[in-house]
Homo-oligomer: A and B are copies of this chain.
Amino acid sequence: MQNGERMPEYHLCYQSLGKLSDNKDNAILICHSLSGDAHVAGEEPETGRSGWWESYVGPSKAIDTDHFFVIASNVLGGCGGSSGPSSICPSTKRSYAMSFPSVTIHDMIQAQIALIDELGIEKLLAVIGASMGGMQAMLLAVKYPKRVKNCIPIASSMAHSAMQIGFNEVGRQAIRSDPKWNHGNYYNSEPPEHGLAVARMIGHVTYLSEYSMHKKFGRKQETRKSPQSGSPVFFSVESYLQHQGSSFVRRFDPNSYLYITKALDMFDLLAGRPSREVFQNVESQFLIISFHSDWLYPPPQSKELVRALKRSNCIVSYINLSTLHGHDSFLIPDPEFASILQNFLYQCLQKTRLV
């Protein structure tokens, strides 16, 4: 791990879609954001659940699995099959809980590199990721310049601002102050569901835009029987957020939420160094995408990355899409976003095969 600790072993859960070409030149790594997992597209056989990026990944879709070999793994520290705080520690035979080593974005990409090594892929045609996935994509291009041909960070940032850290910290505090959290030791009892639900609700408000919330809910009301907050009137947005919170707790581990949000906050690509030094060995070409209405990862953060790359003579394209759905825009079907991704990726493949 980046902090010097060693794990005796770790698991990485991954999904692949499409077919790796004979010369292994068509591999695309998709890195997920905070609450994502390896299940990027396709129906899960047991549950029937579709993938988190179903709208953009699949045959003939933006990330076309007829042409590309798509890999997506759950991050280290997560709870979607990869090793994380809920995993069993081989020496104690109990869940790691808070004894799981501190995880950074750097640790996440080390695990991703081990995976593509395992798959025999020397060079990724592209690495794509939104939000935390974008941080992984950037860092892969910087730390493994020979392994990444094209890099697509979406709605991301080179480092969290105080406000982004602030929102994460409120979520963490909600989890830690839930008595069921019990310093992370809840795996043999009830998890701190309420804390996690509140954390998720905060996240959700920040993922949406003023516009999308207005369109979806406005001031629509529902009337319920029991006055829970000094008034029998409930707004639809309240029910929605409560539902988002309570459904999240069925699929996410509260300790993973603590670890992963901390990894997000700790990420600092430049860390005070001049961008020219950081990007000096980068061989990747960049496509950077931000969303006009995203106030959690506002476009200026993407523009900063664009400027830093330009100053370092990297090849970079940038588009600030005028979608209205805030940070969540990357999850919502949008023909312009889709065609930009699709065209860029086809061009990547074409260029590779022409060389």
* B-binding residues in A (CB < 8 A): 77, 85, 98, 100, 102-103, 159-163, 165-167, 169-170, 172-174, 176-179, 194-195, 197-198, 201-202, 204-205, 208, 210, 213-214, 216-219, 227-233, 235, 237-238, 241-242, 245, 255, 258-259, 261-263, 265-266, 268, 295, 298
Contact = CB atoms under 8 A, between A and B. Distances in A.
A237 B169 CA distance: 9
A229 B170 contact: no
Contact of A238 (B169, B178, B217): B169
A241 B77 contact: no
Which of A98, A177, A214, A233 has its CB near the most chain B CB atoms (within 10 A)? A177
Indicate how many identical chains form the complex.
Answer: 2
Contact of A219 (B162, B176, B208, B233): B162
Contact of A163 (B103, B162, B205): B205
Contacts of A165: 217, 219, 235, 237-238
B268 A219 contact: yes
Given A229-B259, A262-B231, A218 B162 contact: yes
A85 B216 CA distance: 33
A155 to B, nearest CB: 16
Contact of A266 (B103, B233, B259, B298): B233
Which of A170, A174, A235 has its CB near the most chain B CB atoms (within 10 A)? A170
Nearest to A216: B162
A227 B3 CA distance: 13
Given A214-B161, A230-B103, A235-B165, A241 B197 contact: no
A161 B213 contact: yes
Contacts of A263: 230-231
A235 B198 contact: no
A232 B102 contact: yes
Nearest to A84: B230
Contacts of A255: 230
B230 A166 contact: no
Contact of A295 (B100, B159, B166, B295): B295
A279 B179 CA distance: 50
A170 B205 contact: yes
Nearest to A261: B229
A80 B46 CA distance: 56
A197 B173 contact: yes
B235 A169 contact: yes
Contacts of A266: 231, 233
Contacts of A178: 177, 194
A229 B258 contact: yes
Given A102-B230, A161-B219, 17 more contacts: A85-B230, A160-B219, A163-B205, A165-B217, A166-B213, A166-B237, A169-B237, A169-B242, A170-B198, A174-B174, A177-B195, A177-B198, A219-B268, A229-B258, A229-B262, A230-B263, A235-B265
A33 to B, nearest CB: 18
Which of A169, A218, A230, A268 has its CB near the most chain B CB atoms (within 10 A)? A230
